[in-house]
Amino acid sequence: MHRFPNLENWQNQTKIPTLKQLEKFAKATFTPVGMLFLQEPPNEVLPISDFRTFPNNEQRTPSANLLDVIYASQQRQEWYQNYVRQQDISAVSIVGKYTTSDNPEVVAQEIVAYFGFHHNFNNWQTALSTRSALIEEKGILVMSSGIASGNTHRGLDLTEFRGFALSDKYAPVIFVNAKDTIAARNFTLMHELSHIVIAENGVSNTNAYNENNNNTEKWCDKVAAEILVPKAEFEQNYSHNLNDLDKNLDHFAKHFKVSTLVILGRIYSFGYLKEENFWKLFHTEKNRLLDIIAQQPKKKSGNYYNSKPTSVSKLFMETITGSTLEGQTLYREAMKLLNVKSMKTFNNLTEQAHPWSV
């Protein structure tokens, strides 16, 4: 590392770093200072179930970025759970209502009815934001970010995870990795919601159809797919257009506001594709999409005040800033949970969440 020219000397102990140098190094590597004094690095494990699958059954140690995002989400969840109980707000009735033994198609239909989901969207972003809002109306916190700890230099790795769910009767949490495409995020949102309704905590790297997925992931994929692309609607309106998939695949995806991979999976699950043909088309299409993503220019950072509610949950931000205004929560605690450094920024966020407070 160019910032630490003596790193090799520290490692072979020809030079001893000062405490200040260690603190600087720890900050740069997002490592607690105390860990630098250990003989062996600790074996850090995920604090929730790991539903991820990697090629060749690879086992990955969770990154500091993933761990920090989970820990921050758990801290917000704990605060919100305490708040809900203090306010005597009812538990979220759909949490844990189902099991993986239930019919995914029936569960999907009941989820759609419970949240009031629909398919009348002009674009993918509207679909995602509307569904997120409908989920939060029922008391489920929805968070989505592409970075850890608000640090733009700590981008989340899409190959490591796509989302996770923190189930709780009073404060369930869904987190979606915003590094993903907008179409894929719509699927991840529904996949993690499926984890919530079976009260199953866990981190996922599902990409709609994964040959190695375990039974829980397969069930959640089926529920998510049925929510987004209902079998009855697809077969009634589109089953006659399957002869020319190259021409119609994008059309189907645009209508349902999902990725072409989800559409392929649905066509296969409805029995219109043989397994061998499906996987061949699936991998070809997946590689095509990866090439498109790789060629896209890097996005510029968005407006902080527009993205903040999405990253910490709009419901959470409105609730904790309101609680602070009412004197129930200390400013220091609220600022820490929102990852806000200055009082000016906090006041601006509060004004945004509660215009009447000004």
Q: Using an 8 Å Cβ cutoff, are 201 and 47 in contact?
A: no
User: Which of 106-115, 186-195, 274-283 has the weakest average pLDDT?
Assistant: 274-283
- Enumerate residues 6+ apart whose C-beta is below 8 A from 160: 52, 60, 62, 63, 66, 205
71-90 residue pLDDT tens: 999 999 999 999 999 999 99
Containing H/E element for 160?
none
Give just the sign of the alpha carbon dihedral 107, 112, 146, 173: negative
Instruction: Report pLDDT for 324.
Output: 96
Q: Tell me how far apart the alpha carbons of residues 191 and 187 are, in angstroms, rounded to a whole number.
A: 6
8 Å CB contact between 226 and 105: yes
| DSSP classification of residue 170 | S
pLDDT in tens, 232-266: 999 887 777 777 787 788 889 999 999 999 999 99
Q: Is the pLDDT of residue 353 over 70?
A: yes
Question: Within 245-342, where are the H helices?
Answer: 245-256, 260-269, 275-295, 304-312, 314-325, 331-338
Q: Which of 151, 154, 223, 160 is nearest to 187 (CA)?
A: 223
Query: Which residue would you say has higher pLDDT here, 37 or 185?
Result: 185
Cα 143-145-151 angle, rounded to 5 deg: 130
Torsion, Cα of 120, 123, 126, 128 (10° steps)? 90
Q: What are phi and psi of 4, to 5 degrees?
A: -130, 75
Q: What does the CA dihedral 121, 123, 235, 267 come to, rounded to 10 degrees?
A: -150
Mean pLDDT calculated for residue range 289-306: 78
Point out which residues pair with 202 in neighbouring strands: 165
Output the furthest CA–CA distance in the chain (Å, rounded).
Answer: 74
Output the pLDDT for position 237.
78
Q: Per-residue pLDDT for 358 more than 60?
A: no
Judged on CB neighbours under 10 Å (0-12, 13-18, 19+), 295 is exposed
Burial class (CB in 10 A: 0-12, 13-18, 19+), 96: middle
With a CB cutoff of 8 Å and minimum separation 6, the contacts of 218 are: none
Whether the pTM exceeds 0.75: the reply is yes
Tens of pLDDT, residues 188-201: 999 999 999 999 99
Percent of the chain residues past pLDDT 90, beyond the cut: 63
Token code pair at residue 314? 């709009």
Bridge partners (DSSP) listed for residue 165: 174, 202
Q: What is the pLDDT of residues 11-41, one digit of tens each?
A: 777 777 777 777 777 667 667 766 666 666 6
Amino acid symbol at 107:
V
Q: Under 8 Å CB-to-CB from 358, ≥6 apart: which residues?
A: 351
Q: Report the pLDDT averaged over residues 334-344.
A: 96
Predicted pLDDT at 17: 76
* Mean model confidence pLDDT for the chain: 89
- Average of pLDDT values for 192-213? 85
Higher per-residue confidence, 8 vs 174: 174
Task: Report the pLDDT value the prediction gives residue 147, as an integer from 0 to 100.
Answer: 94
For 87, 131, 324, 334, 358, the CA distances from 80, given in Å and listed in that order, are 10, 21, 13, 11, 24
Query: How many Å apart are CA 345 and CA 3, to the nearest integer?
Result: 31
CB distance 265 to 282 below 8 Å: yes
Q: Is the pLDDT of residue 213 over 70?
A: no
* 8-state DSSP, 8: H
pLDDT attached to residue 209: 63
